Each structure stands twice: as C-alpha cells, then as structure tokens.
C-alpha cells in the first residue's frame, strides 16, 4: 500500500503523541502516585456535623504523627473558618458537605477538591511557604456562594503549636 510521505509523517506524529499522553498518565499514576482525590469514603450528610470523623474540626495529629485537617462545607461557610498548619509538612485534608456540593480551593496552591454531600473527599498536600491563604468555594452552591470563604494560616514549623487533640490513624488508602 502506498502511503503519501506527509501522511506517513502525521501518522508517526500522532503515534508519538499517543505514547506521550498515555505515558504521562502512567508516570503520574505509578511513578508519582497521583490519583483522583477521593477514596470513596461515605458519610451521612445529616449527621456529618456530629460525626466522630469530623470532630473536632480543624487540625489534628494521628498516632503516626501525620497531620490531618478536617473541614466541613455548608451553605455558606467552611468549618472551621480558620485553620493553622506548619509549612513544609504533609497535611491530609478530609472534607465533606452537610448540604449541597461545594468546591474546596486553597487559592494559589494545589489544594483543591470537590466537596460532595455523602462522601469524604481526601487529599494530601503541603505548603512550602508560610503565609495566609484564602480558602474559597469554587462550586456554585447558592445565593451566598461568593461569601463562602475561610482562612488558612501556614506558619513556619518552629512557630507551629501542635493541636492537643489526637485522632486514630486512618487506614492506608487501598482504594476500595
């Protein structure tokens, strides 16, 4: 079969692009362990406010020394409204909603997840630089959507006061 030279060039270009795209996904998933931010943990939105997984809200340390931040989204606030974490330390965020879908976004960072009632969204990130960060809602959730905000204080590790509340270490994420 005779294939025109230009057609042949484009075929190789497309083949190379497919390898690049699929390869980058494979590197992210297997090399960097980057996965979608939820591990499909469910929760009853009607009782989320009193659920032990979200009490107390805010920062807590587990028995492995891992830092967790538990945040509830509701129309139209994040609970807690202020959160303090140390710089350069991995923080695992656990997020859920008591009403509608919200969007948790720590502006100017890679910390972002959809917050869906009935589910606990989870991601782990760290903040290399101390400073004040705005936590916004980036999913339209009603008339007060634009007022739904909280503050994240990232302080140098030496100035950070570890919370007194401890929580049980969560099971490693096996993606059930």
Per CB under 6 A, residues contacting ligand CUA are 73, 76, 102, 137, 139-141, 145, 148
Burial classification of residue 59, based on how many CB atoms lie within 10 Å of its CB (0-12 exposed, 13-18 middle, 19 or more buried): buried
Q: How far apart are CA 45 and CA 117, in angstroms?
A: 6
Return the number of the residue (8 or 146) whose C-beta is nearest ligand CUA: 146
Q: How far is the CB of 148 from ligand CUA (least distance, A)?
A: 4
Return the number of the residue (21 or 140) whose C-beta is nearest ligand CUA: 140
Exposure string of 19-51, with b = 16+ CB inside 10 Å and e = fewer, is eeeeeeeeeeeeeeeeeebbbebebebeebeeb
Q: How far is the CB of 134 from ligand CUA (least distance, A)?
A: 14
Q: How far apart are CA 53 and CA 20, in angstroms?
A: 41
Q: How far is the CB of 145 from ligand CUA (least distance, A)?
A: 4
Return the number of the residue (67 or 114) whose C-beta is nearest ligand CUA: 114
Return the number of the residue (67 or 136) whose C-beta is nearest ligand CUA: 136
Q: How far is the CB of 76 from ligand CUA (least distance, A)?
A: 6
Q: Which helix (H) or strand (E) holds 102?
A: strand 102-106
Return the number of the residue (67 or 139) whose C-beta is nearest ligand CUA: 139
Close Cβ partners of 67 (under 8 Å, ≥ 6 residues apart): 59, 60, 61, 85, 86, 89, 90, 91, 92
Q: How far apart are CA 127 and CA 133, in angstroms?
A: 10
Q: How far is the CB of 77 from ligand CUA (least distance, A)?
A: 8
């Amino acid at each position: 079969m005779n294939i025109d030279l230009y057609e042949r060039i484009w075929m190789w270009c497309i083949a190379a692009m497919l390898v690049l795209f699929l390869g980058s996904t494979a590197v992210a998933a297997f090399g960097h362990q980057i996965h979608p931010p939820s591990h499909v943990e469910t929760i009853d939105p009607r009782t989320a406010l009193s659920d032990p997984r979200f009490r107390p809200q805010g920062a807590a340390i587990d028995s492995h020394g891992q830092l967790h931040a538990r945040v509830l989204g509701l129309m139209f606030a994040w609970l807690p409204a202020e959160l303090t974490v140390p710089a350069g330390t991995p923080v695992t965020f656990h997020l859920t909603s008591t009403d509608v879908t919200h969007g948790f976004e720590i502006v100017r960072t890679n910390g972002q997840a959809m917050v869906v009632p009935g589910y606990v969204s989870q991601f782990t990130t760290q903040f290399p630089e101390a400073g004040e960060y705005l936590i916004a809602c980036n999913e339209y959730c009603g008339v007060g959507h634009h007022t739904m905000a909280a503050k994240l204080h990232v302080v140098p590790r030496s100035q950070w006061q570890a919370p007194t509340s401890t929580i049980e270490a969560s099971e490693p994420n096996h993606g059930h």
